[in-house]
C-alpha cells in the first residue's frame, strides 16, 4: 500500500468551515442575517462612490480644460509680446543701418560686434527681463548683440539661417542650453529662440541678415505653474510640432522628446487627435493619468496638462474610506445582532434535538418545557410532547399484543404435527396400495408426498438446486399418470451447482406452461422438454427449459408475462417478480420463442449458498 504525503489544497482547508456553515441552522441564520444587513449597505456605498467618482471626474475634466485654455491664452499673449519686441528691433532704422554696415565689412573676420549696437539693443530690451540675448546671423558673419554665443560653429548656426527661406515669417526654435560669454564672465541658461529675417525699411527688400531673440525658458514654466496652481497634481509643459519638449517643470527633460514623459502611446494619441483641444486617459509606467492638450495660435506648439488620477479621486477615495469604516462598524453590529437572533432561534431547536436523542435511546419520559411565548417553538414542543406520549402508549399496546401473540404461538405449536400427520398418512396410503397391487397409485402417492415435502420444506424461501430439480421431476411424474401424455423430459444437471440454493417453485410453473401450451396439438408426436442447470457465463446460475413445441408469436410471449388467473396456477410474471424480489432486479426470466420452432425460457440467478 502506497501512502502519499503532500500539502492540502486551499479548498480542502476551507471545506471544514464550509461544512460547519452549511450543516447548522444557527450558522445559516447568522449568515443570512449578516448578508441581508450588509448587502444594502455595500450596494449604497458602491452607488454613492460611483456617483461621486463620476461627478468629480466630470468637474475635474471641466476644470482642467479651463486651466488649459487659460494657460494657452497666457502663453499666446506672452509669445505675441515677443513677436512685437522682435518687430521693434528689426524695424529700427538705426539698428538695420548698423547691421548692414557691419555685414559689409571684410568677410575674413567672422565674429563682429559694435558698442553702439549693443548700447542701442540694451535700451530696447531693458524693459523686458524675459530676454536673455539677441544676436544677428548672416551667411558671412555672426554679429554680437548683447551677449556672444560661446559656440558659433556652422552646426549651431546653420539651423537659424534657414529662416532666410521663410521670407517675412517668424520661426520658433525649441529649448536648448545656451552658453553666453562677455568680457567678464559666462553663463548657461535654458532658452528658446524667435528668429526673423531683416528687411530694408525703405523698399522692404531683404538684407540677408536674421535676428535671433533668445528667451529664457523659465517664463513659460512660470506661466504654467501659476495657472495650474491648485490642490490637484497637475503638470503643465510645452512641446513643439515635432514633439520636442520646449518647457517642463524638471529641466532634465528640456529638449527631449515627449515620449520620455508620455511614452509611445501618449505621443501617438496626440498625433492622432485632430482638434485644437483634446484629451485622453493614459497609463504610463503603471501611473494612471488624464492628458489634455491645446495648440497655441502663435505657432505650432502645444500646451499639455497631465493630471494624476490619484489626485483626481482623492476626495472620492476619502469617501470610500469613510464608507469602509461605516461598513466595518455595521459588520460588527450585524454579527452581534445575527448571533443574538440566531441563538434565540437555534436554542429551542437544539433543546428539541437533545430530547429526541433521549427518546431514541428509549427514554420516553422526557418532555419539552415551553416558555409560554406562544410562538412556533411552543407549538412544536406541545406536538413533540403529544407524539412522545402517543409513542409510549402505542409501545405499551404493542407489548400487550406481543404477549397475546406468544399465547397464540404456543397454541399453534400443537398443530405442527399436521404436516407430519399428512406425510405419515400418505405413506400408509402408499403401502396399502402396494399391498393391493395398485402400483400406479402407490407411485403417484409417493411422488405427491415428495412434492409436498419439498414445497412445504421448513418454511424457507430457498431450496437446493438438486431439490428444485427433484420437485419438478415429481410434478412431471404425477402429470404423466394424470394425462398419459407422450412427452419425453430430459434433465441435465451439473454437479458443481447441485448444492447451491435457488428460490423454490420456479421450474414447475415453466414446465407446466410448456405442457399446457407447447404440445396441445402434438401430444402423440414425440414432444421433448429439456431442463438444464449449470453455471452462467457471466457468473451465477442459469436454468434453461427448452421444448420443441409449436412456439409462440411475440404477442403470445408478452401475454405469458402477465399474472395467471387460473385456479392454482402461477404465471410466469409471478415467477419473474419473485426472483427479482429475492435476488435483485438484475436477475429473472428471459423468454425466446418462434412459431413452429419451440420455446426456450432461461432463468439467471446469483450464487446462493
| 88-to-124, 220, 323 alpha-carbon distances in Å | 8, 22, 63
Closest CA to 96 of 194, 209, 215: 209
- The answer on pLDDT for 464 being more than 80 is yes
Q: What distance in Å separates the CA atoms of residue 398 and residue 376, rounded to the nearest whole number? A: 32
Cβ-proximal residues to 188 (8 Å cutoff; 6+ apart), any chain: 177, 178, 179, 180
Determine the pLDDT at residue 413: 42
Determine the pLDDT at residue 511: 87
Name the H helices within 462-533.
Answer: 465-483, 507-517
pLDDT digits (tens, 9 = 90+) for 60-114: 777 778 888 888 899 999 999 999 999 988 888 888 888 888 888 876 788 888 8
Q: What distance in Å separates the CA atoms of residue 290 and residue 313, rounded to the nearest whole number? A: 12
Determine the pLDDT at residue 4: 44
Q: What distance in Å separates the CA atoms of residue 236 and residue 249, rounded to the nearest whole number? A: 8
- The answer on pLDDT for 194 being more than 90 is yes
Identify the residue with better confidence: 263 or 415.
263
Q: What distance in Å separates the CA atoms of residue 163 and residue 143, rounded to the nearest whole number? A: 16
Determine the pLDDT at residue 492: 92
Read off the C-alpha cell for 487.
412427452
- The answer on pLDDT for 16 being more than 50 is yes
- By DSSP bridging, strand 599-605 and strand 588-593 are antiparallel
pLDDT digits (tens, 9 = 90+) for 353-363: 888 888 888 78
| 78-to-120, 122, 219, 220, 225 alpha-carbon distances in Å | 23, 20, 9, 9, 15
- The answer on pLDDT for 365 being more than 70 is yes
Identify the residue with better confidence: 255 or 345.
255
pLDDT digits (tens, 9 = 90+) for 322-340: 777 877 787 777 777 777 7
pLDDT digits (tens, 9 = 90+) for 152-184: 888 888 899 999 888 889 999 999 988 888 767
Determine the pLDDT at residue 80: 92
Read off the C-alpha cell for 280.
485622453
Determine the pLDDT at residue 566: 42
Determine the pLDDT at residue 549: 85
Determine the pLDDT at residue 331: 74
Contact between 519 and 552 under an 8 Å Cβ cutoff? The reply is no
- The answer on pLDDT for 416 being more than 50 is no
Q: What distance in Å separates the CA atoms of residue 27 and residue 24, rounded to the nearest whole number? A: 5
Read off the C-alpha cell for 377.
417553538
Which residue, chain included where needed, has cell 483626481?
312
- The answer on pLDDT for 341 being more than 60 is yes
Q: What is the mean pLDDT of the chain?
A: 79
Q: What distance in Å separates the CA atoms of residue 119 and residue 213, rounded to the nearest whole number? A: 16
pLDDT digits (tens, 9 = 90+) for 482-522: 666 678 889 999 999 988 999 888 888 888 888 877 776 65
Determine the pLDDT at residue 424: 55
Q: What distance in Å separates the CA atoms of residue 119 and residue 123, rounded to the nearest whole number? A: 6
Determine the pLDDT at residue 478: 79
Task: Tell me the percentage of the chain whose pLDDT exceeds 90.
Answer: 12
Identify the residue with better confidence: 51 or 373.
51
Q: What distance in Å separates the CA atoms of residue 126 and residue 119, rounded to the nearest whole number? A: 10
pLDDT digits (tens, 9 = 90+) for 567-606: 334 568 888 888 888 888 889 899 998 888 889 999 999 9
- The answer on pLDDT for 415 being more than 50 is no
- The answer on pLDDT for 476 being more than 70 is yes
Give pTM, 2 decimals: 0.50
Determine the pLDDT at residue 410: 43
pLDDT digits (tens, 9 = 90+) for 421-455: 455 556 666 666 666 656 667 677 777 777 777 76
* Count of C-beta atoms within a 10 Å radius of residue 606: 16
Task: Tell me the percentage of the chain whose pLDDT exceeds 70.
Answer: 78
Which residue, chain included where needed, has cell 506661466?
223
Cβ-proximal residues to 575 (8 Å cutoff; 6+ apart), any chain: 506, 509, 510, 589
Closest CA to 166 of 103, 107, 211, 121: 211
pLDDT digits (tens, 9 = 90+) for 219-265: 988 888 877 666 567 788 999 988 899 999 888 888 899 888 888 88
31-52: average pLDDT: 73
Determine the pLDDT at residue 50: 75
CA 227 vs. chain centroid, Å, equals 49
Amino acid at each position: 500500500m502506497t501512502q502519499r504525503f503532500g500539502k492540502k489544497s486551499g479548498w480542502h482547508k476551507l471545506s471544514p468551515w464550509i461544512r460547519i456553515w452549511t450543516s447548522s441552522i444557527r450558522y445559516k441564520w447568522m449568515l443570512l442575517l449578516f448578508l441581508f444587513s450588509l448587502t444594502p449597505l455595500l450596494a449604497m456605498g458602491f452607488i454613492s462612490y460611483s456617483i461621486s467618482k463620476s461627478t468629480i471626474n466630470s468637474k475635474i475634466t471641466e476644470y482642467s480644460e479651463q486651466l488649459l485654455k487659460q494657460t494657452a491664452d497666457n502663453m499666446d499673449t506672452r509669445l505675441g509680446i515677443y513677436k512685437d519686441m522682435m518687430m521693434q528691433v528689426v524695424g529700427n532704422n538705426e539698428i538695420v543701418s548698423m547691421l548692414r554696415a557691419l555685414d559689409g565689412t571684410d568677410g575674413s573676420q567672422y565674429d563682429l560686434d559694435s558698442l553702439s549696437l549693443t548700447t542701442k539693443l540694451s535700451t530696447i530690451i531693458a524693459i523686458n527681463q524675459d530676454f536673455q540675448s539677441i544676436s544677428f546671423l548672416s551667411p558671412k558673419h555672426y554679429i554680437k548683440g548683447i551677449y556672444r554665443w560661446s559656440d558659433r560653429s556652422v552646426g549651431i548656426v546653420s539651423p537659424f539661417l534657414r529662416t532666410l527661406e521663410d521670407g517675412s515669417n517668424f520661426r520658433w526654435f525649441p529649448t536648448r542650453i545656451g552658453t553666453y560669454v562677455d568680457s567678464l564672465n559666462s553663463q548657461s541658461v535654458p532658452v528658446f529662440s524667435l528668429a526673423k529675417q531683416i528687411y530694408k525699411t525703405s523698399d522692404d527688400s531683404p538684407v540677408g541678415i536674421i535676428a535671433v531673440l533668445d528667451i529664457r525658458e523659465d517664463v513659460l514654466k512660470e506661466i504654467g505653474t501659476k495657472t495650474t496652481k491648485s490642490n490637484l497634481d497637475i503638470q503643465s509643459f510645452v512641446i513643439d510640432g515635432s514633439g520636442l519638449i520646449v518647457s517642463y517643470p524638471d529641466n532634465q527633460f528640456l529638449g527631449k522628446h515627449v515620449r520620455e514623459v508620455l511614452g509611445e502611446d501618449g505621443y501617438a494619441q496626440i498625433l492622432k487627435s485632430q482638434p485644437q483641444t483634446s484629451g485622453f486617459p493614459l497609463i504610463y509606467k503603471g501611473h494612471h493619468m488624464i492628458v489634455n492638450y491645446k495648440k497655441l495660435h502663435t505657432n505650432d506648439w502645444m500646451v499639455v496638462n497631465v493630471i494624476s488620477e490619484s489626485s483626481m479621486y482623492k476626495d472620492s477615495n476619502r469617501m470610500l474610506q469613510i464608507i469602509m469604516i461605516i461598513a466595518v462598524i455595521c459588520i460588527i453590529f450585524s454579527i452581534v445582532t445575527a448571533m443574538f437572533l440566531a441563538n434565540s432561534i437555534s436554542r429551542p431547536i437544539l433543546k428539541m434535538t437533545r430530547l429526541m436523542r433521549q427518546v431514541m435511546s428509549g427514554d420516553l419520559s422526557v418532555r419539552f418545557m415551553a416558555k409560554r411565548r406562544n410562538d412556533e417553538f411552543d407549538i412544536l414542543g406541545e406536538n413533540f410532547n403529544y407524539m412522545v406520549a402517543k409513542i409510549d402508549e402505542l409501545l405499551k399496546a404493542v407489548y400487550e399484543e406481543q404477549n397475546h401473540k406468544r399465547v397464540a404461538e404456543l397454541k399453534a405449536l400443537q398443530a405442527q404435527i399436521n404436516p407430519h400427520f399428512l406425510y405419515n398418512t400418505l405413506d400408509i396410503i402408499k403401502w396399502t396400495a402396494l399391498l393391493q397391487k395398485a402400483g400406479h397409485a402407490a407411485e403417484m402417492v409417493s411422488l405427491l408426498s415428495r412434492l409436498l415435502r419439498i414445497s412445504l420444506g421448513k418454511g424457507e424461501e430457498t431450496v437446493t438446486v438438486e431439490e428444485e430439480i427433484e420437485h419438478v421431476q415429481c410434478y412431471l411424474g404425477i402429470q404423466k399418470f394424470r394425462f398419459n401424455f407422450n412427452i419425453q423430459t430430459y434433465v441435465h444437471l451439473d454437479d458443481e451447482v447441485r448444492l447451491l440454493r435457488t428460490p423454490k417453485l420456479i421450474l414447475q410453473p415453466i414446465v407446466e406452461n410448456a405442457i399446457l401450451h407447447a404440445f396441445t396439438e402434438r401430444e402423440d408426436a414425440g414432444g421433448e422438454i429439456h431442463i438444464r442447470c449449470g453455471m452462467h457465463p457471466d457468473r451465477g446460475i442459469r436454468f434453461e427449459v427448452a421444448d420443441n413445441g409449436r412456439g409462440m408469436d411475440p404477442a403470445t410471449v408478452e401475454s405469458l408475462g402477465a399474472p395467471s388467473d387460473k385456479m392454482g396456477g402461477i404465471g410466469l410474471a409471478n415467477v419473474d417478480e419473485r426472483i427479482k424480489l429475492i435476488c435483485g432486479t438484475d436477475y429473472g426470466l428471459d423468454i425466446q420463442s418462434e412459431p413452429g420452432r419451440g420455446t426456450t425460457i432461461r432463468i439467471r440467478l446469483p450464487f446462493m449458498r
